[in-house]
Amino acid sequence: MTIHKEGYKIIALTTILFGIINILFFYLLSFELPVITLVVFIITLGLLFIIISFFRIPKRTLTIREDTVVAPADGTIVAIEEVQADEYFTDRRIQVSIFMSPWDVHVNRNPIAGEITYIRYHKGKYLIAWHPKASTENERYSVVYRKNGKEILLRQIAGALAKRIINYLHIGQKAEQAAEMGFIKFGSRVDLLLPLNIRINVKMGDKTKGGVTVIATW
């Protein structure tokens, strides 16, 4: 397991804060209130480990197959439904949504290999990520991948906790399947808009691993 570069600054600041708090408690209260000093140490150490875990990148064998759409994020499948596309596409699509809790790996990955033909950032609200209107009203990035005449749209969506979405892609880029395409800090949601003739390989409530779980096959 490694730590993502997006976490370096936050982890460094949290570590410094952890050190300052515990040094102060040790020198000011450790003799008079040793139990409180120990409790503060345990709580702050736990919070430090939680922050570090937000930015972990576990080692895993990625799924690289031309006929598949792989999960762009770790999380839980919270929606599989036919919808009317309201951005880029004008037809009906199958929407598959993955909710990323604060405990999930936060790296986002390319669901397929292909050319990036569209990227748009949308300012918006910070509704809870599983809210039905989160896909269209929350802060988000929309990205379209094109491969062999087929196109899919991916949305990185901010939630109540996630206040920063990071996207590494640019229009015209040749994306590699399962490679990193972005990061959403402290959990949120990722949507896929897929063509109707694709075969869905997941069901509601399934747990996904980014770059590994097969969401659909052509």
Tens digit of each residue's pLDDT (9 = 90 or more) over 103-120? 888 889 999 999 999 999
What does the alpha-carbon distance between residue 191 and residue 87 come to, in Å, rounded to a whole number? 13
Is residue 89 a part of any domain in this protein?
Answer: yes
Report CA torsion sign: 132, 136, 137, 143: positive
Question: pLDDT band at residue 68, thresholds of 50, 70 and 90?
Answer: very high
Q: Which of the residues 97, 135, 142, 188 is marked catalytic?
A: 188
What does the alpha-carbon distance between residue 203 and residue 73 come to, in Å, rounded to a whole number? 15
Same domain (yes/no): 36, 115: no
Is residue 72 a part of any domain in this protein?
Answer: yes
Same domain (yes/no): 82, 41: no
Same domain (yes/no): 120, 53: no
Clarify whether 188 is annotated catalytic: yes
- Give the number of other CB atoms < 10 A from CB of residue 80: 18
pTM, rounded to two decimals = 0.81
* Residue where the block lists tokens 């003799």: 31
Nearest 5°: the CA angle 93, 98, 134 is 75
32 or 84, greater pLDDT: 84
